Amino acid sequence: MRTPFLLLASTVMAAACLAACSTNARSDAKTSVALPVPSDDKATAEKALTAFLTSRSIREIPLHRDATPDLDRDGKDDLLMLLDDQNWCQADGCTLLVFHGEKDGYRLVSQSVSVRAPVSVGARVNRGWHDLLVNVGSGDEAGTVALEYDGTGYPADPTMAALLDPARLPSATPLIDAEMAPRVAAQ
C-alpha cells in the first residue's frame, strides 16, 4: 500500500519543484499545485482514513476492514471502514467510520463506537440512506441493531439502539463479515 502513496508524494513534490522553478513574469502571482486524485479506490480509501486520523493528530494507521456500498443511492460508492485494531476497540466492539463518496474522494459522515462485525446494509432507507445492521455487545447482551441515518449521520453509540429480534431480522446484504473479510495491514 506504500507504493501508491509514494507515487502520489513524489508526483506532488515534482510538481511543486517545477512550479517553483518556472519563470513567471509576475512574481506576485499565486501558484497553486493541484493534487492528483488517486485513481485507485483503495488509495482513495486510505487517503480518507489518513485525513480522519490526521484531523485527530493520530499518526499510526490501524488495522481495518472496509466495504464500498452506495448507501445513499447517488451512483457513487460510499465507504464503510471498521477499525478493528487494538487501539480502536474496546471490550464491547470497535469503531466504524462511514464516509460519503464524492467526486474527489470521501467525506466523513459518522463515527460509531462499540460495533462488531458483521456489518450489513439493510434494505430499509431513512432520509435517503440505507440502514446499517451491526452487532453490538457480548455474551447474553449481544445482538443486532439497525443504525438509521438521521439526516447528518449514523448514531455514534449503537449500544443505545434497541436489539432486533433475531427471528425477524430485516433483509440485509452482508458487507464486512465477522470472519471472512480481510484486514488491511497497518502501514
pLDDT along the chain (187 residues), means of 10: 42 40 36 45 94 96 96 97 94 96 95 96 97 93 96 96 95 86 48
How much is the pLDDT for 178? Answer: 83
How much is the pLDDT for 46? Answer: 95
As given in the structure block, the three cell numbers for residue 41 are 479506490
As given in the structure block, the three cell numbers for residue 29 are 502571482
pLDDT tens-digit map of 33-48 = 333 444 588 999 999 9
How much is the pLDDT for 39? Answer: 52
How much is the pLDDT for 140? Answer: 85
How much is the pLDDT for 71? Answer: 98
How much is the pLDDT for 17? Answer: 39
How much is the pLDDT for 41? Answer: 84
Pick the closest to residue 109 from 97, 121, 94 (CA basis): 97
How much is the pLDDT for 183? Answer: 52
